[in-house]
Amino acid sequence: MIKKILLLTLFLGLSISVFGQQSLNGYKYIIVPKKYSFLKEENQYQLNALTKFFFEKNNFTAVYDENTPLDYTKNNCLGLKANIKNDSNIFSTRLAVELRDCRNNVVFISEVGKSREKDFKKGYHSALRKAFESFKNVNYVYNPEENLLANVETEPVEVSKVAEVAKVKAEKTEVVLEEKQAKVAVVNIEEAEVDQNVLFAQPISNGFQLIDRSPKIVYTLQKTSLDNVFLLKNIKGLFLKKGDRWVIEYYDENDRLIQKEIQVKF
């Protein structure tokens, strides 16, 4: 009897894992809200930014709900809406990650991440990190599904406007080609340069904090009156943009000016 129960549990676990992978691979985006219903402020405790970070760490394309891509705006079935289910009590913080499709059906729900940290921020971060352990075996790779792509709403085009549209397209062909070439070039540069040392910027009240993939706070940036110039809270120095590069500048113990290029994703 015990063997049967163990085999049944193993079978159900494998089924859920395979179902989750097959279900999630068909979706192009994860839509992350800027505010969770159980919190009072946007991105309180940096929980929303951390959610987005963990999805990106698991190879998903995560975007905030206030800045969605054009194809998702036309067809919201391309994405899944993320939410955090909070079942915390006075003894522990308990969070689970839930994903719903465009028809509000639950497509995926993670294991409950638990933490006994007394500090709210540390407790939420620890519980969320544990909840995202459920995504490690998903091995997400976007694979478009025809039934999701077919939900795009198209507007009828009047026959009288066909010639005008063709003319506009002809006039813009050169500009569009240039834009596409520019985008391809940018992608190639990013793919060539991004490595394990890339840092991710999380907004805070007076600037940003740069975190690595752990996630661990590496630098804290404080705003100044100048655009793209920040004070480094960790060391006496500046974090600023030179051309298209972000660099750190500070003086070492021998009064030598040190410059260090930093890879950052905002």
Query: What pLDDT digit, counting tens, does each position of 160-203 carry?
Result: 454 565 555 555 555 554 555 544 444 443 443 445 678 888 88
Looking at the structure, tell me whether residues 121 and 27 fall in a common domain: yes
- CA angle 237-264-247, nearest 5°? 35
pLDDT digits (tens, 9 = 90+) for 38-77: 999 999 999 999 999 999 999 999 999 998 999 999 999 9
Looking at the structure, tell me whether residues 36 and 133 fall in a common domain: yes
- Number of neighbouring beta carbons within 10 Å of residue 154: 6
φ, ψ at 162 (rounded to 5°): -60, -45
Q: Please report the pLDDT score of residue 185 as a whole number.
A: 42
Chain centre to alpha carbon of residue 22 = 20
Asked if the model's pLDDT at residue 81 lies above 50, the reply is: yes
Looking at the structure, tell me whether residues 204 and 145 fall in a common domain: no
Looking at the structure, tell me whether residues 203 and 136 fall in a common domain: no
Inter-CA distances, 57 with 61, 130, 218, 247, Å? 9, 14, 17, 24
**Tell me, what amino acid is at 196?**
Q
Looking at the structure, tell me whether residues 110 and 217 fall in a common domain: no
Looking at the structure, tell me whether residues 136 and 255 fall in a common domain: no
Residue 79 pairs in a beta bridge with 29
pTM score above 0.75: no
Number of domains in the chain: 2
Looking at the structure, tell me whether residues 141 and 36 fall in a common domain: yes
Lowest mean pLDDT among 79-83, 193-197, 237-241: 193-197
Domain-embedded: residue 7: yes
Taking the alpha carbons of 181, 187, 192, 197 in that order, is the dihedral positive or negative? positive
Looking at the structure, tell me whether residues 237 and 140 fall in a common domain: no
Domain-embedded: residue 99: yes
Q: How far is it, in rounded angstroms, from Cα 130 to Cα 121?
A: 14
Looking at the structure, tell me whether residues 118 and 20 fall in a common domain: yes
- Number of neighbouring beta carbons within 10 Å of residue 101: 19
Q: How confident is the model at residue 157 (pLDDT cuts 50, 70, 90)?
A: very low
Domain-embedded: residue 181: no
Q: Please report the pLDDT score of residue 8 as a whole number.
A: 42
Looking at the structure, tell me whether residues 144 and 236 fall in a common domain: no
Domain-embedded: residue 102: yes
Q: Which domain holds residue 235?
A: 199-265
Q: How confident is the model at residue 6 (pLDDT cuts 50, 70, 90)?
A: very low
Domain-embedded: residue 260: yes
DSSP 34: S
- Number of neighbouring beta carbons within 10 Å of residue 236: 9
Looking at the structure, tell me whether residues 144 and 225 fall in a common domain: no
Q: Return the CATH number at 76.
A: 3.40.50
Domain-embedded: residue 162: no
Q: How far is it, in rounded angstroms, from Cα 92 to Cα 95?
A: 10
Looking at the structure, tell me whether residues 138 and 245 fall in a common domain: no
User: What whole-number percentage of the chain has pLDDT above 70?
Assistant: 74
